[in-house]
Structure 1
């Protein structure tokens, strides 16, 4: 669905926000959250009328703050093509050769679920292989998997540093030419949970090369039956897959697949604003946060069906709006970009689209600061710096924290969220990226949110919304911008590849 936008300038009068002379206040942040998390924005789901209102609101506020459009052609909106796929009917037959006869292999009912890259996808007489964890290179995998259907373990991987994510391992198999990629879900309860989730519509970037012809999931029990019928011992594959010398295992069987999939393509948008530096030196900062949430998520008949996303992530967007206002007034030396991303909830998709087609050369970015889920704790608390240890900028972050009287949580516990936030897309490619917030240093309140309101209709503006820590965090982000945005306080970017140990 192509979105239609109101003119940004015409929208300004509809979104009055109080102005304050000094620093960022709780009242300023709440004013934005009240609007972005209201029922009128319908939960800010990409591809809906709620997106229209959301992206226009953000662009309007950044325009009022003194920013210019930072997207291509100096506009505010970067188009992000998305595709939504939902599994439909499927017909799957596994076959093995027994002498002169071809026999079917019964893996049991409800043990496999598939979706195709197209509305109707067919694979005939495809060979089967087990790729273990698919950690080999694309060139090593290609002769083993090209034109075949490959199974790989979703999780349960050996505990080794920097083990690639499932997304990355699946991408290797697709790049190596696998026609089908099927994840093995280990454990009965996990299978039931993952199978239910897989049957829901899934959104990804609408780009060539991101999808196999058929993708899916199979239970550990279903695959075990298939392996045994083809003369392989499931336990042997599990044991050997964790070793460094694992080789792709051919399975003495073939498969025919006919898969129907509901496919919907649509255009969503990142919003990009820019503060033009007064003495630009070719380097820049990037602030970011995701604007999207889950939309209308409750069941039919419920009195409240809207997942408003007040904390996740209207709070982060409110921080970005007010940080932009303060930094525009500060007139920094360097360019500073502000990015509000779409489809973070679907797998950091808006951030990935930006990295694939950036408006500034990525090697010119000094640092990226991601704001997500900031409204959880009171003022005066420690701050978590997710992303420390990944670049040479740690001493600079320490310096700003010392100057601002902020204590950094050094427990390391918040690091578990590194790959679950938009900044990780930049970390992956070597751009220093941080998510700095007191919310993730308050383990008790964070866990209470994740176990309760997170991704629920109850994440809305009410008496439980806490903005003291968010206000501290917002003003700290202003201090970061003043430090890194000015040549006198931060003269140069470290040499590429200069990562701390």
Structure 2
């Protein structure tokens, strides 16, 4: 889950103004409680937790009155799921990692100074001996911005040390759009670019502000089982060593090399930055157990009355981190109540609302995707292998990490994208007495961190809805306090558990608003598009003939 305003929800408009059927708050709360219970084992893909989750979602979608919308069988009938093949990899035992800094060896502890990911390049054993480290700033190659952090450096056999986010983060101005993070700032890009360059590995320096989360999130998200889509040549996307290191370790590493970390951070913001070799090497040795498994997206559908080949798509990820390293209290189950039992529960009840309402002209699909926490993999697989043509998908409304602390006066979306689907949401919000507020933390890169993104990059108008930060009870100050508390103490941690204090009124209102947006779109002949200057506009326009 990548939603940034987890502490808040939306104002419930008077029932008379809503087209949506009433949402049963008790049932909504019960879904969240069930899905985030210890019995579901943190909903990890390819675990017993997945088996229970898929069974529950299938049962609930069926009871809600939806039709199965997944893969077609030999008889032409659709199943309730879409099979998603994934590469699963996990480190066997504890990885041995050590630095040699200016001739002084230092062992690194997994999860403490370093968070090493299981290799996703197909290797069963990773053995690295005294590989040299080189600092490459933000690790960006952006020809359209005349930006190259590598300056012709041959990175083969080397380990890259890179900063998280992009060069504009510190000053919020420059060649990368200022405050809003570009895709170049995402950790996924850093690893991908290192592999494309042929590097032996990458160490991303963790800092809480530019990462937008603390070390606990890094540790919990990277030291457990890893997944990836199945690739023909995985080594082109993943180097043998992919890891994060603590900022304090980076500072000490630079100092031992006669360098100042903060000074080099400043230099890395400039186009003329040059890579800097460090007086250090790294060694690593660990075994990897990897295999191809099959996970599942769960898919329900309401077939359109007059134009069933056209689709409005609602999405939410059902997965979380599963069972992993214990926290300070010894809890090993990462329940994922807010992230994303809330969105998954909303998806079920959204399906029920559509099943009860008059059948719309277009079909409406309810897609619960797997492996979001491992890199948006379930949505990436669907977008690459759509069950319903993307060219005739009118819009995607993603639900990730709804608020549970009461109604708010506003709402948002992740990122600053301009598109007709947002215009529809804003207009409908006014009818619900709600105000649209732009994403207040675009520097965190929320646009690239949730399941609408695989659709957006293929041109489909897609947004990830975000709860508001102006709480009716407590306003902006209380929302900020709750959001910071959640990020620090519960986000991607075992403490993200169901609470009897959860307030469902805002979540019910979220569903009502998003129902009206999707229902209106499903009954229209409109094809929302991206703004003329959007990077996704050209891709969408290429498929225009399919919509005539």
Q: TM-score range by the shorter chain?
A: 0.7 to 0.9
Shift of 1:288: 0.8
2:370 match: 342
Correspondence 1:201 to 2:224: yes
1:432 match: 461
1:179 match: 200
Question: Does the Cα contact within 8 Å between 2:251 and 2:260 map onto a contact in 1?
Answer: no
1:324 match: 351
1:3 match: none
Correspondence 1:485 to 2:522: yes
1:260 match: 286
Query: Which protein, 1 or 2, shows the higher relative CO under an 8 Å CA cutoff with sep ≥ 6?
Result: 2
1:5 match: none
Q: For 1:421 and 1:210, how far apart are their aligned partners in 2?
A: 20
1:394 match: 422
Q: For 1:222 and 1:241, how far apart are their aligned partners in 2?
A: 18
Q: For 1:128 and 1:305, how far apart are their aligned partners in 2?
A: 34
Q: For 1:121 and 1:158, how far apart are their aligned partners in 2?
A: 31
Q: After superposition, where does 1:98-117 map in structure 2 within 5 Å?
A: 105-106=103-104, 108-110=106-108, 117=119
| Cα RMSD, aligned residues only | 4.0
1:357 match: 385
Shift of 1:462: 4.3
2:513 match: 476
| 1:120 paired residue among 101, 118, 125 | 125
SS in 1 for 2:51: helix
SS in 2 for 1:314: helix
Over alpha carbons, which structure has the higher Rg?
A: 1
1:374 match: 402
| 2:322 paired residue among 292, 295, 299 | 295
Shift of 1:287: 0.6
Q: 1:196 to 1:331 in 2, by over 3 A?
A: closer
Once the two structures are superposed, residues 276-312 of structure 1 have per-residue CA deviations (whole angstroms, 9 ceiling, x without a partner) of 2223275422111111234346849969764433333
Per mean C-alpha deviation after superposition, the further-off stretch among 333-342 and 447-456 is 447-456
Q: 1:363 to 1:326 in 2, by over 3 A?
A: same
Q: After superposition, where does 1:129-168 map in structure 2 within 5 Å?
A: 129-137=134-142, 144-145=153-154, 147-155=156-164, 157-159=166-168, 160-161=176-177, 162-163=181-182, 164=184, 165-168=186-189
Shift of 1:476: 1.6
| 2:250 paired residue among 192, 208, 220 | 220
Per mean C-alpha deviation after superposition, the further-off stretch among 29-38 and 134-143 is 134-143
Once the two structures are superposed, residues 27-58 of structure 1 have per-residue CA deviations (whole angstroms, 9 ceiling, x without a partner) of 33134234323343233222221211111221
Shift of 1:479: 0.8
1:88 match: 94
Shift of 1:486: 1.4
Q: For 2:470 and 2:204, how far apart are their aligned partners in 1?
A: 34
Count of residue correspondences: 464
Shift of 1:63: 2.9
Question: Does the Cα contact within 8 Å between 2:220 and 2:492 map onto a contact in 1?
Answer: no
- Ranges in structure 1 where 5+ consecutive residues have no aligned partner: 1-20, 96-103
2:5 match: none
Per mean C-alpha deviation after superposition, the further-off stretch among 442-451 and 208-217 is 442-451
SS in 1 for 2:424: helix
Give the ranges of 4+ consecutive aligned residues of structure 1 lying more than 6 Å apart after TM superposition: 190-195, 232-236, 300-304
TM (normalized to structure 2)? 0.71
Correspondence 1:408 to 2:438: no
Correspondence 1:308 to 2:331: no
Per mean C-alpha deviation after superposition, the further-off stretch among 292-301 and 77-86 is 292-301
Q: For 1:304 and 1:191, how far apart are their aligned partners in 2?
A: 19
2:450 match: 421
Q: For 2:86 and 2:205, how far apart are their aligned partners in 1?
A: 29
Q: 1:498 to 1:282 in 2, by over 3 A?
A: farther
Q: For 2:21 and 2:283, how far apart are their aligned partners in 1?
A: 64
Once the two structures are superposed, residues 312-359 of structure 1 have per-residue CA deviations (whole angstroms, 9 ceiling, x without a partner) of 322221211121122234322222222112223334333333334333
1:38 match: 37
TM (normalized to structure 1)? 0.77
| 2:299 paired residue among 254, 268, 272 | 272
